Chains A and B, each alone.
Chain A
Amino acid sequence: MPQGAAAVLRHELIGLSGVFERNVYLVRRYLWWDVAFFVWTIANTLTIVFIGKGIEATGGDIDVERITTQLLVGAVVWAYLGVIFEILTETVAWERWEGTIEYTFMAPLSRPIHLFGMGLFAIVYGVIRAVLLFGVVALFFDLNLGQADYLAALVVLLVASISFLGIGMMTAVLPLISPEKGTQLGFMAQGILLVISGVYYPVSILPEWMQWASTISPATYALDGLRDAILDGDGLGSMGDELWPLVLIGAVSIPIGLWVFRIGEQYAKRHGKLKRSG
């Protein structure tokens, strides 16, 4: 193999495409499982979004359309974050289950590229699912979304995804350290992140300490930005308050995520946990 930065970069990009390629194969092979999971997600989202109409039916004086859209955005972000965390956690968990973990982790592919490959696939797959979920659930309601700025919403979601990847990398290593509990701890992190970020309610109703915590959660800014873009039609020009914190948190969380994963991998190699049976 020729030496030099260009050759190394080429090798890494081919490796990254391999990670992406493998996940495409898996989606194709588990297509019906994916369809079933998507139907479940739609049903789950509907149970949340119908709450808006339910409040009105029980005598509440609310702007049903606005509440419904707010709930829909929250549910879609929850589902999106779930996909991102699940795929990143599978970096270890699925490989351990299939028994391929040793082969993948002994391949000459740098860990950051390996994780970025998983993250890239998670974002592409997650965005497709989020768009489909939003579209399908919106059909159940008489929503007036004519003023929505979908491009701005997409940009907010993509910028937020950088931070989500960083946090996902931190949780992805958990199954390596604790094969039995690690995956559940990842779901726990996802839940906490959304609870403090105002997933179905304004952050202002939370206890003060949770409001403080919400200021360092990227989901807070993602939810704000998405709701502004879809409910009020805000464009990217007026999204500075959401985009800059997201960029900042992303710039911090990615290196921390990689560092945490590296520490976890070293621990696993020290204690013999980097193997199929845990």
Chain B
Amino acid sequence: MTRSNHHSSMPAVVVDGLRKEFFRNDGRAGLRRRRKRVAALDGVSFEMHRGETLAILGQNGSGKSTLVRLLSTLLLDDGGSAHVFGHDVAAETRAVRRLINRVSVEASFFKKMSAVENLSYAARFYGMPIRETRERIPEILGRVGFPRKRMGEPLEDMSRGMQQKVALARALLTAPILLLLDEPTTGLDPRSKLEVQTFIREIRQIHDATILLCTHDLVEAEELADRVGILDRGRLIELAPAAELRAKYDAVTLEDAFFAATGKAFEDEPEEEDD
């Protein structure tokens, strides 16, 4: 994995005026389906420095996942730009892909395969040879608290919390210097949630990773992130340390600050984003 010195002197992420629109069905006009353009991201700009953890808060449909998928090279933008350690995510996909990994809300795996099998082939995609994976996979699974005796069992037999630990292990195995976490603790039981959050802290401290954390959990955002961004209908309306946000809106909690900034409660959930 490339970790050359020049990476330490440049911003980890530079997003400038990023726009993404999707078409959405808008009823019918006679026999024809009407489609309307909906902005998933509307001129989003921010920078992250190396080693920083930035939490992005927003309701469903606010554009969080679109932002993560654009940085993951899985979407093409409709304007603006995004760079990861100086590499354009649209034009230099291969260079960007070497530097990033992600954990999303669903721990996506081939469910009939075991944790070791899933991690093994995934590591191979990042150029890791068999000898190396034989040593590193048991070690990294052990570090996320995955029981050794269950390493050969199909993942479909495991709890969501356990699967999410494997997802973290998969992301870490490739030693990313930018880790994209898209609601990694959503739907987990309190204990699994705590374990995953503890591990995220460890990643920060030990691996020198830059972390973009999209979350619904405001306490999690406040505890884990250096700065908090609020994404509302595709626009980044706030970006500051949590304490500053609370102070700005004269709010006791981050949830109150969110409410004041967006004019809506955090639980209000509009329709899902994307095409």
CA distance A21 to B122 in the complex (A): 10
Q: Is the CB of B74 within 8 A of A26?
A: no
CB nearest neighbor in B for A12 = B127
**Residues 144-172 of chain A: 1 if any B CB is under 8 Å from the residue's CB, otherwise 0?**
00000000000000000000000000000
A18 to B128, CA, bound (A): 9
User: Is B74 in contact with A269, judged by CB distance below 8 angstroms?
Assistant: yes
Question: Are the CB atoms of B108 and A276 closer together than 8 Å?
Answer: yes
Q: Is the CB of B74 within 8 A of A102?
A: yes
Contacting B at CB under 8 A, from A80-115, are 98-100, 102-110
Chain A residues near B73: list those with CB within 8 A.
106
A269 to B100: give the CA distance in the assembly, Å.
18
Measured between beta carbons, the chain B residues less than 8 angstroms from A109 are 125
A-B contact count (CB 8 A): 107
Q: Pick from B5-13, B111-119, B143-151 the stretch touching chain A.
A: B111-119
Q: How large is the interface on B (under 10, 10 to 19, 20 to 34, 35 or more residues)?
A: 35 or more
In contact, B126 and A108 (Cβ under 8 angstroms) = yes
Cβ-defined contact, B112 with A103, below 8 A: no
Closest to B3 in A: A1
- Docked CA distance A107–B104 (Å): 15
Q: Which of B94, B104, B120 contacts A21 (CB 8 A)?
A: B120
Q: A11, B127: Cβ atoms under 8 Å?
A: yes
On chain B, the residues within 8 Å of A275 by CB distance are 69, 74, 274
Which range holds the interface residue count of chain A?
A: 35 or more
The reply to whether B74 and A274 form a contact with Cβ atoms under 8 Å apart is: yes
Option from B69, B126, B128 in Cβ contact (under 8 Å) with A102:
B69
CA of A104 to CA of B118, assembled, Å: 11
A-B contacts, 19 listed (Cβ < 8 Å): A14-B124, A14-B127, A15-B125, A15-B127, A18-B124, A21-B121, A29-B112, A99-B108, A102-B72, A102-B74, A103-B122, A105-B74, A107-B126, A108-B97, A108-B98, A108-B126, A108-B127, A270-B75, A272-B274
Known: A19-B124, A106-B74. 12 other contacts (CB 8 A): A1-B1, A10-B127, A15-B127, A22-B117, A29-B110, A105-B74, A107-B126, A108-B125, A271-B22, A272-B69, A274-B74, A275-B274
- 8 nearest A-B pairs in the assembled complex, by CB-CB distance: A18-B124, A99-B108, A107-B125, A11-B127, A22-B121, A108-B97, A272-B275, A29-B112
